[in-house]
Amino acid sequence: MGLTRTLMASLLGATILATPALAQQKTLIVVPHAEPKVFDPHQSGVNITTMHSAMIYDQLFGWDEKMTAQPQAAESVTVSPDKLVYTFKLRPGQVFHDGTPVTTKDVIATLNRMLKRDTQIAKLAEAIAGIERVDDQTFTVKLKEPFGFVTHLIGGSNNVAGGIMREKEAMTDPFTPINEYIGSGPYKFSRADWAPGSKVVYLKHDAYKPRSEPASAMSGGKVARMDRVEWRIIPDSSVAMAALRAGEIDFLDAPPIDLVNTVATNPDIVVGEVWPIENQGVFRMNQIHPPFNNLKARLAVAYAVNQIDYMTAGIGDKRYWRECYAYWLCSPPNGTEAGSEAFRKPDLEKSRQLVKESGVADAPIVIIGGSDIPMYNAWSLLTAETLKKIGFTKIDLQLSDWGSVAARRAKKDPPTQGGWNMFHTSANGAQLTSPMTSPSTIMTCDGRNFVGWPCDEVVEKMRDQYIKETDPKRQQELVEAMHKRLWEVIPYVPLGQFKQPFLWRKNVSGVLRANTLVFWNITKS
């Protein structure tokens, strides 16, 4: 234990409870899966930004553990008989972390910014005719035509991006990051304690008034039971694991699965699940620059992928993963694998032929990857070797910390000027199970969709039909047709489906199952 503490002190710059004042606080020490580099939920949808945003912001509606939207910052909503006007009333007594009241001016400014920036809810943005303030507690959303997903999507992508900002921050240009992180949620960001590269600190928002309902994922009573939540940045997962065993940290977010098995029988550590739906591993290709703006180049890569190799390299233990060729996951209601038949076993000869036919074999390929996340690091190395095998000649593997990758992947610059051609990631399945909510299969041709910016008008026309369709049978027919088309145009390449265990000390309780890891409701004895 002494050696572990020495290591921790050298990495963190201090012992965990550095002062008597901190020692008196109820503090939860968490090692996140990555260091947050982007704090504006409208600029990035990576998990670490989502986790930060969930801590400090509250949404109008929150998804419960069954992915059903429930009122959260909204006290109520009424819908006009023609279903074209939604009237929202805010819960009374909500205040921001600076003590100012939450009003509809803040909410409307937030929604307007989100609707311009959040590509995952573009269909909602298109359906809205206007948002109008009635008074400080009431506002209306007027639609051009009936739209059945208003309350489900008004919380933003992954039910986090719609977190209510002060009007001051929400008036910032949607493509310019905010620099003040002040919300009205159960915890507040402590800029004074923030030490980039070392720790991110959140303090209990004493003025927050939780809802009376039991906590359920992103809905219900968000009760902050800890005075302080510290995210300690420890890139070396083996050091983080040693600290967990020694009781120097309380919670380990999304640890490498090969290390999970080393504590599976430890009576002081809980191996638990948080995300209610399995995750999908993927790699995305930049489709606005060569070589992957060429369909044959994308198909060549897709034919070369062996999901078993990727899952073995990145996950290891077969108990935690399975092959899956469904863009909307191998689970109800949209778990079709139609169109993937030819891709289920690698065909390197076909890949090589497509590379030759594409004429882009000698185009440089910049692979960016998170070296501090073992799974992503392993996938990046495997892909680099696979690309060489099928005839691509100029592979530039650029590995760095995941936070930097997450920021860089938003750049549309040419790969030789700070952009990229390919990166690997994973996403929890909550938002991936439907053509309505999955950012990964949005193929609008306006360049505003998810990074990689795939474009296909055929897919988008079918998605529009799906969203407006009310007949379940016809919806399923559209799902099948869309899925076949996706395997023809390759928006990205699925690498398999897996479970992600989380680890915490046995004296920690109240961990919620949610599409985003949240820290309200948690207690520590």
DSSP 315-358: T--GGGEE----TT-SSTTS---TT-GGGSS--HHHHHHHHHHH
Task: Give the C-alpha separation, 247 to 428, whole Å.
Answer: 28
Q: Can you tell me the mean pLDDT for 235-241?
A: 93
Cis-peptide into 439, omega within 30 deg: no
Q: Choose between 383 and 66: higher pLDDT.
A: 383
Please state, for a pLDDT cut of 90, what percent of the chain lies above it: 82
Q: Residue 146: which of 129, 165, 121, 122 has the closest Cα?
A: 129
pLDDT averaged over the chain? 93
What is the sign of the dihedral through the CA atoms of 175, 43, 166 and 69? Answer: positive
Are 38 and 167 in contact by the 8 Å Cβ rule? The answer is no
Per-residue pLDDT at 118:
87
Task: Give the C-alpha separation, 67 to 161, whole Å.
Answer: 16
In eight-state DSSP terms, residue 159 is G
What is the arrangement of strands in the sheet containing 138-143, beginning at the earlier edge strand?
Answer: 74-79, 85-90, 138-143, 128-135
> Which residue has tokens 């910390």?
401
The answer to pTM > 0.75 is: yes
Are 201 and 194 in contact by the 8 Å Cβ rule? The answer is yes
Q: Can you tell me the mean pLDDT for 471-493?
A: 96
Which CATH code of 3.40.50.1000, 3.30.70.3270, 3.90.76.10, 1.20.58.410 fits the domain covering 36-177?
A: 3.90.76.10
Whether residue 158 is predicted with pLDDT greater than 90 in this model: the reply is no
Q: What residue type is 353 in one-letter code?
A: Q
- Residue 46's pLDDT band, with cuts at 50, 70 and 90, is confident
Architecture of the domain defined by 1-13+25-35+186-275+500-525: 3-Layer(aba) Sandwich (3.40)
Whether residue 366 is predicted with pLDDT greater than 80 in this model: the reply is yes
Q: Can you tell me the mean pLDDT for 386-405?
A: 96
- The secondary structure of 410-451 as a DSSP string is T--S-GGGT--SEEEEEEEGGGTSSTTT-GGG---SSS-SST
* Backbone Cα Rg of the chain: 23
What percent of the chain is helix, strand and coil (3-state, nearest 5)?
Answer: 35, 20, 45
Per-residue pLDDT at 329:
95
Token code pair at residue 340: 């993937």
Token code pair at residue 253: 């977010």
| CATH T-level assignment (fold) for domain 279-498 | Dipeptide-binding Protein; domain 3 (3.10.105)
- Residue 428's pLDDT band, with cuts at 50, 70 and 90, is confident
Give 269-309 pLDDT, tens digit per residue.
Answer: 999 999 888 999 999 999 999 999 999 999 999 999 999 99
| Helices H / strands E in the chain, number of each | 16, 21
Domain boundaries, the chain: 1-13+25-35+186-275+500-525, 36-177, 279-498
Exposed, middle or buried by CB within 10 Å (0-12, 13-18, 19+), for 64? buried
Token code pair at residue 201: 């600190």
Beta bridge partners of 62: 70
Per-residue pLDDT at 1:
40
Cis-peptide into 291, omega within 30 deg: yes
Q: What is residue 299's three-state secondary structure?
A: helix
- The secondary structure of 87-154 as a DSSP string is EEEEPTT-B-TTSPBP-HHHHHHHHHHHHHH-GGGHHHHHHEEEEEEEETTEEEEEESS--TTHHHHT
Task: Give the C-alpha separation, 509 to 229, whole Å.
Answer: 14
Whether residue 241 is predicted with pLDDT greater than 50 in this model: the reply is yes
Whether residue 16 is predicted with pLDDT greater than 60 in this model: the reply is no
CA distances 92 to 179, 225, 389, Å, are 27, 22, 62
Whether residue 21 is predicted with pLDDT greater than 60 in this model: the reply is no
Per-residue pLDDT at 23:
56
- Residue 157's pLDDT band, with cuts at 50, 70 and 90, is confident
Per-residue pLDDT at 524:
96
Task: Give the C-alpha separation, 280 to 328, whole Å.
Answer: 9
